[in-house]
Amino acid sequence: MTRFADFAALGRRLERARGRLEKRDEVARFLRTLAPDEIATAVAFLAARAFPASDPRVLGVRGLPAERPGEAEALRGPLTLLHVAEAFADVAAAAGSGVRRARDERLARLASRASDDERDFLARIVGGEMRTGVSEGLLLEAIAAAWGVDVATTRRAALFLGDLTAVAVLAATGGAAAVAGASPRPFVPLLPMLAEIADDFPSVLAAHGGRTALEYKYDGARIQLHRAGDRVQVWTRRLSDVTRSLPDVVEITRRDLSGEPFILDGEVVALDAAGRPLPFQELMRRFRRVHGVEALVREMPLALHFFDCLMAGGRSLIDEPYERRWEALTAVTGGRYLAERRIVTGEAEAGTFRDAALAAGHEGVMAKDLASTYEPGGRGKRWFKLKAAETVDCVIVAVDRGSGRRRGWLSNYHLAVRDGETFAEVGKTFKGLTDAQFVEMTERLWKLATADDGYTVRVRPEVVVEVEYNEIQKSPTYPSGHALRFARIARVRDDKAPGQATTLGELRHLYERQFQTKGRAAGVV
């Protein structure tokens, strides 16, 4: 049985390791020493999780309490990985009156068995932050290295299984062949396939071989719908379960859709009493509501627009071409609830279709290669989006304290785009939010605070906002090298995760595109 002290020693080595490859190899060596029943626990702990990602249990505690006086000697003994896992399970199982005290007492008993080093790493797991420099991406690479599996194959399996612990167990018990054979499963949500920004229809048609499928780009929220038998679940693009908030979607699924088990990709749009689309922020009320849902369903009905089918009849369609997946989608839906769509071969008919989408109040159009497979989490030239207004999705990484009428609020937001596994700042703004939204955002960001110098509060990069801008400028101020001029928050994108924000590469592309209609000053590159 692997001692927890060995896990803590690994943590110390990872802290000292200088490079990514050294950290990966340390983790891989450790994983290879484990017994089969220890692998899932170790992978979860390395990711600073008390339980695997697919396990719904939570500890429900604020942190690791101090050991209780008088118990340290009585309960001292070699602590193993499985001892810790059993203790966490015991904590999560506590229920009834006085549950918080019971959980703290059970964790305190665990702490009393641990050395100082072990307690440090127990506290990190309980707190959800390991601080060893091992990201989920590096952990995935270590799993691949430990059992000789191709990294791309391991990453694909992780997308399908939704949990690195499951991938590790599969690799350890079945090897590369088992990992390569992983496929999507009902009720394991997949990351959505994403689109690149396109400049115009000629470039899209060229990329797609002269023929592309256009769909309305709705101003709604992406959903992924799973059904097997009577069980139905709905997830957002951030893979948050919103089934309880969307009983009308569940009812439509059971009543009107067939061919289960299936997994569908689509969009929901909130409608007013006259059937007109409501603003995106109104739709988010539906997603956040868990009480009084039925009243809100009557007040704010939803329109469903499905545009992809990832599984039908229990068979994965991930590797089938888009054209075949659309046929399966039509069969599952009976031709109802489909996104408005047209296959085009020329710029004129594409423009007519886009104009119709804009006239209907939608954001623009999507363009999809009819031969493209579905790549969960992938972004490339297989899918393009063509929008009327120029916006980027930024992450708030810091915020300044307000002054004047905004005193007491955190109100000047530091905006950043994604740059690999980090974020690069591209500007600040205090524009776009109402007073009520400033208050709500202040409360939200204080909960994410990591540092405070009395003026600027650094926050965990979790809040995504859609930002309108006048133009993108070169900037000596920001390490990104760019700044958004006249930035304004258009809306808070609670449906997007930080990893789905605009990338620095995309921002640079948008910067260069500006010079198709503008002159370039001397010396500006």
Which positions are annotated as active-site residues?
217
Instruction: Output the six-digit token pair for 195.
Output: 């689109």
* Calpha distance 188→231 (Å, rounded): 13
Tell me which amino acid residue 267 is.
E
Cis previous bond, 202, omega within 30:
no
Other Cβ atoms less than 10 A from the Cβ of 332: the count is 25
Separation of alpha carbons 11 and 133, rounded Å: 10
Q: Which residue, among 170, 167, 160, 162, has the nearest Cα to 140 in the 3D structure?
A: 167
State the DSSP string of 276-319: PBPPHHHHHHHHH--SSHHHHHHHS-EEEEEEEEEEETTEE-TT
Three-state secondary-structure class, residue 349: helix
Q: Is residue 201 classed as helix, strand or coil in its secondary structure?
A: helix
Query: In terms of DSSP bridges, do strands 262-270 and 231-236 run parallel, antiparallel, or are they unpaired?
Result: unpaired
Do the Cβ atoms of 307 and 339 come closer than 8 Å? yes
Q: Determine the Cα–Cα distance for residues 462 and 465; give it in Å rounded to an integer.
A: 10
CB within 8 Å of 290: residues ≥ 6 apart: 244, 245
Tokens 């691949």, located at residue: 144
Cα separation, 18 vs 83, in Å, equals: 31
Q: What's the rounded Cα separation, in Å, for the pair 436 and 434?
A: 5
197/119 Cα distance (integer angstroms): 48
Cβ(308)–Cβ(374) below 8 Å: yes
Residues written for the chain: 525
Cα distances (Å, whole numbers) of residue 23 to 17, 30, 46, 99, 164: 6, 11, 12, 39, 17
Token digits for 156? 């694909």
In sequence order, the β-bridge partners of residue 466 are 393, 491
C-alpha triplet 458, 401, 456: angle, nearest 5°: 30
The span from the CA of 150 to the CA of 394, in Å, is 33
Backbone angles phi, psi at 270, to 5 degrees: -80, 140
